[in-house]
Structures are given as C-alpha cells and as structure tokens.
Structure 1
C-alpha cells in the first residue's frame, strides 16, 4: 500500500512539473536556511555543557553605574571579593579564581626557545580544577597549583614546549612567561585538552599564589575593592542548583558592606550561569550575541513559513483541478483516510527531495556567509542532532504544509466532483479563495518589511560613513605594541619609522584615535576657592598624536611629552565652564592626584562610534602604558609596499613578534561590524523572501488566470480592449499588495525606531523608503501577473471557445 502511495505520488509530481518545481525550490530554500540556523544554534548552546554539575557553576560579574546614567558591565571582579566569597557566602561550595594574561610571550630556558605570544595563559588557584575537573596525565590535582611558581599545562602545549617528552618526565621543567615582568614556574601537572566546545581556552595555568607580594597585587589591581579588571575572573560552584537567588543576595550584602553609598558610582555583583558565558564577555572574542542569534531564528522561521504558505496556497488553488480524480477514487471505494495519506505522501516526497537539495544549499550559504557564523563552526551532516533533524523535520513540514490541502481534496463529494460542479461551501463565500488571498498578503507583507529594513539600515550606515569624524583616517596604519616592552624600544621604533621617505609622521598612544577602548576618570577644575568635579574621557598620547591623526589644534600649543601638560577638547571646556579657548590656556587642573596644566585645545572628534555623543576629553602623556603606534603616509604611496616596509622595520625592533600593520579606516569600519552584519543578513533574507513570494505568485497567477481564459475570451469577443483585460485581472492583486504594505509598515517601524534610537547621530525616519519598498513589490507583482495576463489576453478566443 505504502509503495503504491509513493509510486502514484511520483507520477503526479512528474505530471505537473511547474507546480513540483516551485514547491521543491521554495521548500528547499526554507529548509536550507532552517538547517543552517539549527546547526548554528545547536553549536552556540553546546559550549561548556559537558562539565559536571554545570547548572551549579556561575561566574561573578560586576556592574558599575555612574550618577550621570552611564553603566559599565564587566566580567571581572575586584581581587578582595575572591578572597572572602567562600567564607561570607554560605551558598558557595567551591570558588575558582583566574587572572587572565594577554599577549604573553612564552620562552623555554631549556634550548633557549622563544615560542611567540599567546592569550591562553592564566593564573589559577586549585579551586579552578575542582570546579572544572580534567583528566590528569601527571601531577596531583590538589597540590599542583598550591605553591608559588608552579604551573599546569595541557598535553598540546606539552608537545609544543617539550616535543617527545612524556607527561611525567615534564614535571619540574621550567617555563618563563614574559608579561610586565618575567614569570618563571616549574611544571607540576599535565592535563588533557578539552575536545568539546568550550570558552575556557587556557592551556597554561600558573599558580595564583605566584601573585604574592603587595607590589604584585597592586600591579595586577587585586589590592582593593575599587579596582575592577576583566582579567580578574571569579567562578563559584553553589551547593544546590536552586541557590542562585541566595548567592546574589549575599553578593548584594558584600557590595553594600564594602562600598560607600556616598561614592559617585554604584557597584553591584551578579551571578552569570556558565551556560550564558558564551553569549557575553568571554576569553577569545568568539561570543555570539543572543539578540543576533534570536534574530537568525526569527528570520529562518519566517523564510520557512513563507515556503510553507506557498505550498498551501498553490495546492488549495489547484485543488479544484483534482476534484474529478478524487471523485473517481471515492467511486472506486477509496476512503477519505486513504486519500489523505495519498496526498500527504505526495507532500512528503516533495519535502524529501527538497531536503536533499537543501543540504547542498546549506553548504553554499555557509560558504557565502561564513564571516557571520561563529568561529569554528562546521556542518557535520552525520551528527546525532542532524540525523534527528532529517527524520523529524520532514515529517513536521509534511504535516504542516500538507494537511490542509489534503483535507480539502479528500472532502470533495464524488457526484459533484465528477460532474465538474463548482466546489464551494456557500454561494457567497469560498474558504479557499479567502485563504489564498490572506496567505498571499502575509507573504508579501513579510517581503515588504524586509525590504524596508534593508533600505533604512543601508541609509543609516551610508549616513555614518559620510559624517566628518574630526580627524583624518585615510592613509593611516597602526600596529599594536608588545605589552610593557619598555619605552626605549617604542621610541626607537617611532624614530626609525618617522625617518622613512614615504612616512609623514608616527605617534605612540594607549589606543587608536577612534576605537571601542574607553578610559574615564575624574578631573578637578578650580572654581573660586573650591573645585568642581568633571567626569571625563582620557586618552594617553604623545606629542605627535594630533598631527599624525589630523586633529585640529584650536588654541594654545601642542604638548612636549611632559606628564604635567595636557590637551583638552571643546566639550571639556564647555563642561568645565571656561568662557573661551584662551581662558583655558595655562589653567591648572587636578587629574590623577597631580596638578596638570592645560597647554592647548583640540577640536571635538569622535573617539568612539557615532552611537555615542562626544565626551569631554583630556589628552595626557604616560609612555609606560603606550600600546599602539600610528603611522601617517605621504600621499601617492603604494599602500601595500608601505605596509610591508613598516612590518619589516617592526620585526627588526621586535624580532620575536609577528604583529601586522592594519589600516585605520578599516578598523573604524569594524566598529559597525554588528550593524553591517545585520544589514547583510537581512539583505539575504529579503532576497529569499522575495524569491519565494514571487515563485508562489508566479505559480498561483499562472493557475488562476488559466482558469479564467474563457472569461477573458468572452470579454474580448464582447469588445474589451487589451488594457481593460489587464486592468481587470491586475486590480485584485494591487489591492492585496496595498493591504500587505499597510501590514508591513508597523513591525518595520518599531524595529527601526529601536535600532536608530541606539545612534546619537542618525537619519530621520525615511518614510520615502517605506513607499519605495511598497512600490517595488507592487511593480514586481504587476510584472508577474501582467505577463500571464498578457499571454491569456492575446490567445485567440476561437481556440478557447470552440467547444462551447
């Protein structure tokens, strides 16, 4: 029986190739997007699920809220919290402390090997391995990180540091990590690497007790409650899964106890579940936004719904054409249940073919949009979740898409169906027609919404790129400097680069002229006999910084690389209450516990994205914390050659580094990467939505107009012109598109209002683009319907009416 169902289904599919092609192509597009998104979501939620008692593990985060309304979430905690949390919070079973290191140079004294820099080094206490146990190949888990200057390494790094050495033979060997200072430790343990997806990327674990002296604790910012550093991570494992609220109440009490209510900022702590770390601040910038992930889910659902609606729409429209088939089957003894199974078999066969095609399309989309997918993501077609997907998903789609057409087809009465009488439940109302019109409206309202979103997102991004930033971004390259490598080498690098014929200038600074970096502090402005406090942004720069970046000096002079001289911007003067530029020159203010002199005023420039207002800014000189070198090239330079020359010089000064120079304008573009990603994903969704909707309209209009060929021929015989016939057929679709446009406006408006609201500098709501989107879809609809109508209207009436 089942074999016959599929045999008949296959013949029916071959009999109507246009209908089959539209169904399979539409469903394959929808399924491919859903399959890809399903795998992305599964991959993203798979991180760190394998740890024992994962539901009881939390990371403690810090939130600092300033009186002026700004708030700064931080995945780090002050050092003293890690010392007292297990003794002051009864819900905590075990604590694990980390202090992560950035760009640490690894050297092996044995053989004098320099192995380059890595972000996979951290200080860790013994509690970390109690919370996150591993398979130990050598060493004692309870003792390995107990003493200062001891270290645990993973097997992969064992093979890298000491090739061919067995785990037990590596115990006692020395490794030196060069950070602000040299950190020497002996290997006391070797553990297996994680093979599962994890955000705990570390391969070298130095005992936390190595940070032992007060000077070291102050250097790492672990000495007082006011220092919050994202490198200082604190994990806890609570006694029972339901004690999170008790943990957070205890954290609130600790914050209340150790922070004064009179402080300008309010500090609070929160417990972040281990399962959420991948979607927030993690250790290798591989996180994916939950908002973006959920947006992908919504888009995938919409695309699949559009494809399913296409199927339902076209099948119900063509149902009347199969009424005689149903009548004959029922006359020959076919029961309704058997007919439903027959029609669902046809649907299932189409879904299976679409699924096979979708797997190839999913690989195509993965390659096309690889930059927007999580790092390390791969499509494993034979994974257990995908095998379940292959079984469950086609069955679900078959039921959702096929059950209504099957019910409609199987309900026809044999006598009326064989006679060819009109199948309708009532003289004035047809459920099928009503459903088809509304489904088409839903399809095109989705398409119009997508088009509006893409047009407005593109307009805002174009507006941002056209705004003056207050500095010159063209022909500027930059490179990161090795952390804490000494002022002499940095100055030498700047001097050598500045002497190159194609270089206009080079500058050292703590950050780029515009980036996501933000250093804020308080400045104290003298007012009569008192001082007023000003919350300001701070940038650490040398005297060449404003010239290299083309920042205008409005008054006074440039600094001379002295710690007691500062530059300020226009907004600083405005907030500080200075009447004009000259009034501020040579005024002394207090900053960083020291008195500083304002020697110059620079123009306002966007040191961060255009989402934010330009803050009051203070430029100071502290070479110990320079991290970046910026280079301005002369006009007419070969940029590729200049970049290569700069990297050669960099390598001469820092022979053990592998840093590359980047272009400043490209880095600024990266500041809006998330917005560009949203736009590009929405653009792809728009193309798919329009394609699916257009295919559905093509099939539906082709069928419905073919049903009206006699009516069209009679009208021609009675004198109707070609334009009158085209207008008659098209006006119904025009009304449906206008309804779809009306429905599309509201969701698009609310999304765009929220998104544009995130920008301080933004365009006004561009209503013209709304109308342009609606007009474009209307034009597409008229082209599709008009083409079919034109063919029908040009048919010779004699050929159509010869049997009447």
Structure 2
C-alpha cells in the first residue's frame, strides 16, 4: 500500500512539472537557510557544554553604577576570590583565573625563544577542580599549590619539547616575561580539550606566583576597588542550591566591603557558564546573541513564506483534482487514505527540496564564510544533521501539506464528478485564504527590502561624516607590553626618520578604538567643585600633529607630567565659558593636581553610535604600548610596511608586530550593522524570489481558469490593455494592502535601528515609497506577462469545445 502511495505521488509530480519545480525551489531555499542557521546556532551553543556539572558553574560579574554611566563586565576584584568560598554559603568550589595575553615564553636551558603568546594565564587549584582535564603527567592533587609552578597542555608540550616523553619534561623550567621575568617549573601536563571551548589556555602558572613576586599591586589583585577584566572568578554551587540565595550572599559581601563607597555603587552578579561564549570569550571570537536571534527570526520568516507559497498554490490547484477525488471516493477510498496520499506527494517534494537545499546551503556558506567563526564547517551527514533533516522534513510535510490534503479529501464525490468545483455561496474560504497568504508574503518582502535601504543609507551617512581627525594613511600597532620607554622611543625615532613617514606618536591606544579608559575628575569652578567622569587617553607630544587634531587654544603637551589637554565637551561639563578661561586651571585627576595647558576640538574617539565624551589627554611614558604612524601620500604601502617591520625587528629582535590601518579599524565599529544589512539584503532577495515564484504559479493557474472569460471579452471588442487592467487589478489591490500592512513594522524597526546611533539620518520616508514601488513593479511584471500571453491567445482555440 505504501509503495502504491508513493508511486501515484511520483506520477502526479511528473504530470505538473511547473508546479513541482516551484514547490521544490521555494522549499529548498527555506530548508537551506534553516539548515545553515541550525548549524550556526548548534555550533554557538556547543561551547563548554561538556564540563561535568556545567549547569552549576557560574562566573562573577561586576556592575558599577555612577548615575548616568553604568558598566557591567565579567570581572572580579582580587580579594573576592579569597573570601567567596568562606563568606558565601552554597559555593562548593571557586576557581581564579588571571589572563596575561601577549606574554613571552622561552626555555633558558635550551636557549629557545617562542615569542609572545596569548594562551598563558595564572590559575589556582580550584580552577582545575571546576574545569577538569585528563592528566597525562604530574599529580593533580599538588599541582599549582606552590608559587612558580606551571601546568602545560599537550599542545604546549609538543611545541616546547618536541619528541620528549611527557613524564620526562616534569621539573623542567620555562621562563615567562610579562611585567617581569617569571621562572616556573613544570609540574603537570594535561590533555587539550577536543570539544569546542572558550578556555583556550595552554600554560597555567600558579596564581600564588603573583603574591610571591610581589606583583599584587601591579596586576591589581590587592584591592577591592581595582576591578580588571583580566581577573576572572568562577564558582560551582552545591546541588539544589537556589540562585536567589547566591545573589543575596553576594549583596551582603558588597555591603560589607563597599560600605564607604561614595563615587558610585558596586554590586556583584553572576552569569552561567553557557553565557560565556556570548558575553566575554577569552579568544574574542564569541557569538552575538542578538545576531543569532535575528538569524532565527529571518530563517523562520523565510520558511513560513515557503510554506505559505506551497499552501497557496496547492489549495488553488486542488480544484483541478476534484474529479480524481470523486473517483477515488466512489471506488471506496476513505478520507484518511486520501489525506495520506496527498501528504505522500508533499513528502516527496520536501525530500527532493531537502537534497537541493543541501546544495544551496553549501553555496550560501561559501558566500557568507567571512561572517562565520574561524574554522566553522558543516558535516552534512553527521548524526545531528541527519536527525535534523529527517525530523524537519517530516514536520515541514505536515505543516505545509495538511491543509491542502484536508481540502482535497473533503470534496464531495457526487458534486466533484458533476464538475462543480466551488461551493454555491458567494464567499469562498479558499480564495479568501489565498489572497491573505499572498498579502503576508509580500508584506514580509516589503519589510526586508526597506530595512536594507534604511541601513544602507545610515551606513553611507556614517562613512561620510567627519570624525575630527585624519584617519587616512595612518597605521598603528601594539608594542611589546612593558618592554621599556627607551625601546619604544627608539622605534618611534627610527620610524620618524624614514622618508615616507610624516610623523610617529606613542600612546596607550589608537586615537579611535573600541577600548575605553574612564576616570573621575574634580574641577573647581568659582567657589564650588564640579565632579564628573571623563574619558582618558595616554598620549605623547606628537599626538596632535600625527592625528591631525585641531588645537583651539593653548599649547601642546611638553615633558611636564602634570600637564593635560582637554576637549570642548570637557569645558561644557566643567562649566567653563570659553577655552581661554580653562587654560592654566588646576583640576584633580588621578588623585593628583594637573594643569590644563590646551583645549582640543571635539572628535569622535569611538563610534558614531555614542556621544562625544569629555576627554583628558595626559602623559604616562611607562605605559605607552601603541605606536601610530602617519604615512605620506602616494607611497608604496607594501614596501613602507616592510621597512617599518625591519626597523621594529632591529629594536625588538625577538618580537613580532602587526600594523593595522586606522580607517579599517574604524569601519569595524559598524561591522555588525553591515553584517545585518547584508544578511537582510540576502533575505529580501530570497523572500521576493519565493513570493515572486508563488505569484507566478498562482497567477498562471488563476488566469488559466479565466481563459474563456478573456476570450469572450476579446470577441466582444476588449483591447489587450483592458484585459491586462482587468486581470492585474486584483493583484494590484493585494500588493497595495501588503505595502500598507508593512508600513508600521518597517517604521518601528527602522526607528529602533536609527536610535542606536547618536548621529543618524532622518527617517527616510521616501525609501518606503521606493520599496513599495519596487514590489509593485515586480508584481505587475509577473502578472502582466501572464496576462499579455493570455490576451494574445486565439479565442477560437479556447472556445472550440463550446
């Protein structure tokens, strides 16, 4: 019986190739996108889901509330890690981690140098009780319990000691250079994680080494008020312990240790281990939950459009199969048998669409590979993907096929065999449904299309706005951390002497970057004192010239460490009436008294999504770790960068440098918005393609039903134009309704997006009209072609059987 069902279904699919092709193409696009999104989401949520008791592991999050400015970041003060297990009931074990990226590693005994690495960290014994690993050598019970011990992973062991046995390398010495030299002894080797994990670290230095080397102050782990994102604190709760009690305990710790806090309010929270990949992954390759949620919504909409397409066309063409149903029922066919028969046809189409969808998903993957995590691949025939395809195809078959199957199975045989295809009433639910489904399809297409135009306009506006400094032909690079001001100054001088370099400047970061350093400042005005938060930048005297910043009043910085520059926004917040009034004023900054010697014109140091903050520019040469270089015009960039790297190697023979173009880094501020625009652009093309195919099939079928009417009108003198207008009128009304329905959600989405920018375009109402016009043109083109062909048909061929 089952074989017979599929044989008949196969014949019916071959009988109407256009209908079958439209269904398979539409469904395959929906399946391809859903399959790809499923793999992206599965990949994102696969990180660190393999740890034992992972559902009870959390990371401390610190929140600072300064009134108008609020910050939340996954970090903990050093002392909290010492008291958490003692003062917070319900904590089974806590583990500390202090990340030290860009750390130099070497083997003194073998005189081997491995350069600077990003996979080195401080860790305490609790960390390995939280995140267990397979031990390949060493004693897990005593490892990291004493200062200057190190545990390395198998990958590091193969790098440092190729070909040696793991037990044989225990006791050997590794030298790490961060702020100072750290001599460590290997006490263990652990296996690297084979699963997806954000814990990328391969070298674990005992946390107590910080105290042993008297570096608590330097790393900022000595004070409750020093909170550094490098200092991470994890803990595992006891079984069945309520999270409300954990939060209550953290609040009590805050009240105890921050009772005298005046400038703001500090509180502690926590986030689950499953959130690590979405909030602050250690390799900076985390996933954006907002983007993933957007992908899920877009994938769902496109799949719904494909299903609506199927339902719309199948219910329309169900009329043509009325006699088939009548004969089957007359010969004893039951309703359930007919439903199963028609679902079999749907399943065959979904099956073929799934196979075509895999091809489409591979093409889409290649087109958007740069948007995906590095190394992301799809194993198409893995157990998870096969299960997804099987369950998804069955679910899709039922959702898209059940209504048309019920419509067909409910035809009355006596009326069907007489050729009565519609009910006697004037209202037809089938026609009503088809019109509304068409409206929904084009409404979604309209929303996608207009949003692409809005985002594109905003991105064009952002790229054309002056930022207040020269961003072209400026490169910057990070210097070896704490390698000394002497070497940094020498490299700056050698760079400045090159013929193609117009200037070089040292500082704490580039003039525009995603990072931010803030501090409170107190400014005496008349008899009062104004206190507010300001952005801080560590710069040298060449900063103004290299970056092309305008100095409105005063002079540049000199060698005096107490001199500072400020921007115009600083003057406004402090209450100065003019730049000249601020010159020579004394302000309390960094617990010291500083003198304002110059005022800069405002510039955007961050993205245009944010307002310009008050800024202070000061000099701290010991903390210079970025060099910015202004290149001359018309130079050979490749040769110029090569010369700069050679000069760097002469100053830092064991280091590497990576130059970045400032204008390209500024574009990264809007990278996610550009991704959203391109994804929406792709989605709008797919949505319009699916909607267009549906309209093509539906108009083809409905026009075929009206061929006799068209022929009679033509005989009675109707022109081709009149026939085109007659047929297109109904579809024109549907598209106008779609445009009207799309107006509000499109306006709301566009307004929400634009409000994320401080500097933005006005609401582009014209683009709403352009989007509607484009949609209307597509509809009229599809329907017009069918109408024109119908109007050109010889009436004699249509009416010869009458």
Q: CA separation in 2, counterparts of 1:113 and 1:676?
A: 44
Pairs within 5 Å for 1:111-260 = 111-213=110-212, 215-260=214-259
**1:214-254: per-residue Cα shift (whole Å, max 9, x none)?**
84111000111110101110000111244221111101111
* Distance verdict in 2 for CA 1:496–1:214, change over 3 Å: closer
Residue matched to 1:630? 628
Q: 2:768 aligns with which of 770, 774, 777?
A: 770
Q: 1:439 aligns with which of 437, 440, 448?
A: 437
Residue matched to 1:709? 707
Residue matched to 1:87? 86
Residue matched to 1:730? 728
Answering whether residue 474 of structure 2 is matched by residue 480 of structure 1, we say no
Residue matched to 2:547? 549
Structure 1 stretches lacking a partner, 5+ long: none
Q: CA separation in 2, counterparts of 1:743 and 1:118?
A: 55
* Distance verdict in 2 for CA 1:693–1:108, change over 3 Å: same
Contact 2:90 2:241 in 1 (8 A): no
Q: CA separation in 2, counterparts of 1:578 and 1:661?
A: 39
The alpha-carbon deviation at position 765 of structure 1 amounts to 1.5
Pairs within 5 Å for 1:573-612 = 573-612=571-610
Answering whether residue 451 of structure 2 is matched by residue 453 of structure 1, we say yes
What secondary structure, in the 3-state scheme, does the structure 2 residue paired with 1:534 have? strand
* Number of matched pairs: 802
Q: CA separation in 1, counterparts of 2:482 and 2:42?
A: 41
Residue matched to 2:353? 354
Residue matched to 1:15? 15
Q: CA separation in 2, counterparts of 1:163 and 1:562?
A: 52
Contact 1:86 1:92 in 2 (8 A): yes
What secondary structure, in the 3-state scheme, does the structure 1 residue paired with 2:472 have? coil
Contact 1:479 1:660 in 2 (8 A): yes
Residue matched to 1:306? 305
Residue matched to 1:330? 329
**1:241-281: per-residue Cα shift (whole Å, max 9, x none)?**
44221111101111111113652211111111111111111
Residue matched to 1:498? 496
Residue matched to 1:59? 59
Contact 1:417 1:423 in 2 (8 A): no
What secondary structure, in the 3-state scheme, does the structure 1 residue paired with 2:242 have? helix
Answering whether residue 530 of structure 2 is matched by residue 518 of structure 1, we say no
Q: 1:648 aligns with which of 621, 646, 671?
A: 646
Residue matched to 1:390? 389
Q: CA separation in 1, counterparts of 2:116 and 2:432?
A: 66
The alpha-carbon deviation at position 384 of structure 1 amounts to 2.2
Residue matched to 1:38? 38
The alpha-carbon deviation at position 660 of structure 1 amounts to 1.9
**1:164-214: per-residue Cα shift (whole Å, max 9, x none)?**
121211110111111111111000011111111111111110001101158
Of 746-755 and 28-37, deviating more is 746-755
**1:262-301: per-residue Cα shift (whole Å, max 9, x none)?**
5221111111111111111120112111111111111111
Q: CA separation in 1, counterparts of 2:514 and 2:786?
A: 55
The alpha-carbon deviation at position 593 of structure 1 amounts to 2.2
Contact 1:214 1:223 in 2 (8 A): no
Contact 2:557 2:597 in 1 (8 A): yes
**1:460-506: per-residue Cα shift (whole Å, max 9, x none)?**
11111111100011111111111111111111111111111111111
The alpha-carbon deviation at position 529 of structure 1 amounts to 5.0
Pairs within 5 Å for 1:645-724 = 645-724=643-722
Contact 2:322 2:421 in 1 (8 A): no
Contact 1:646 1:661 in 2 (8 A): no
The alpha-carbon deviation at position 707 of structure 1 amounts to 1.1
Residue matched to 1:50? 50
Pairs within 5 Å for 1:743-762 = 743-762=741-760
Q: CA separation in 1, counterparts of 2:13 and 2:131?
A: 56
The alpha-carbon deviation at position 655 of structure 1 amounts to 2.5
Of 426-435 and 664-673, deviating more is 426-435
Contact 1:516 1:608 in 2 (8 A): yes
Q: CA separation in 2, counterparts of 1:281 and 1:406?
A: 50
The alpha-carbon deviation at position 123 of structure 1 amounts to 0.6
The alpha-carbon deviation at position 78 of structure 1 amounts to 0.5
Q: CA separation in 2, counterparts of 1:214 and 1:186?
A: 15
The alpha-carbon deviation at position 377 of structure 1 amounts to 2.0
Q: CA separation in 2, counterparts of 1:436 and 1:620?
A: 68
Of 4-13 and 467-476, deviating more is 4-13
Q: CA separation in 2, counterparts of 1:305 and 1:798?
A: 42
Q: CA separation in 2, counterparts of 1:326 and 1:110?
A: 88
What secondary structure, in the 3-state scheme, does the structure 1 residue paired with 2:215 have? helix
Q: CA separation in 2, counterparts of 1:583 and 1:338?
A: 91
Residue matched to 2:27? 27
Q: CA separation in 2, counterparts of 1:248 and 1:375?
A: 36
The alpha-carbon deviation at position 752 of structure 1 amounts to 2.2
Residue matched to 2:420? 421
TM-score scaled by length of structure 1? 0.98
Contact 2:104 2:115 in 1 (8 A): yes
Q: 1:463 aligns with which of 461, 464, 467?
A: 461
Pairs within 5 Å for 1:616-627 = 616-627=614-625
What secondary structure, in the 3-state scheme, does the structure 1 residue paired with 2:105 have? strand
The alpha-carbon deviation at position 530 of structure 1 amounts to 5.2
What secondary structure, in the 3-state scheme, does the structure 2 residue paired with 1:679 have? helix
